[in-house]
Amino acid sequence: MRDPVCPACGGDLAGQAFAPGSDAACPACGQGLWIFDEQPPALAPVVRHDEETLDALHDERLGDLVISKLGRPSRVVFDVRKVRFATSAGVGRLVTFKARLDPAGVTLVLHGVPEQLRKTLSTLGLDSIFETVG
Ligand SMILES: [Zn+2]
């Protein structure tokens, strides 16, 4: 069994206790990590959206920024638990984010999609293109 390695800093995370289906911080670099329910634990960097509104202000270069900072992890988890309201422009930004990551072989996973955003994605027929957790 291979020891888990931080996808952001490459730090060895052997001996760390990880609870599958939750998030934690890398003790070396502080990067938020999502622990998928797999053996050995698959760790994905977490990017948080810390505002209640997801709109056009959301950085359209986020996909590029993530790839330049994190390289090409197999998955990136986008934490949208705080989002209370998503505009159509905000949903467009989500699609752009995914479109930037897809060609790099990085799967965008949405964490904690709130009900309003879930309904919006469903109405637009976009709910099936996003992988989700929690
Ligand atoms: Zn790290």
* pLDDT interval class at 112 (50, 70, 90): very high
For helices 62-70 and 88-101, the axis angle rounded to 10 degrees is: 40
> Per residue in 32-88, pLDDT tens?
999 998 877 889 999 999 999 998 765 778 888 889 988 889 999 999 999 999 998
Residue with tokens 């505002």: 51
The CATH fold assigned to 35-133 is: Transcription Regulator spoIIAA (3.30.750)
> Per residue in 15-34, pLDDT tens?
888 888 999 999 999 999 99
For the chain, the domains span 35-133
**Is pLDDT above 70 for 103?**
yes
- Enter the pTM of the model: 0.90
Instruction: Compute, in angstroms, the gap from residue 98 CA to the centroid of ligand 1.
Output: 23
Q: Which residues surround ligand 1, an ion (CB under 5 A)?
A: 6, 8-9, 11, 26, 28-29, 31
Distance CA 67, CA 92 (A): 19
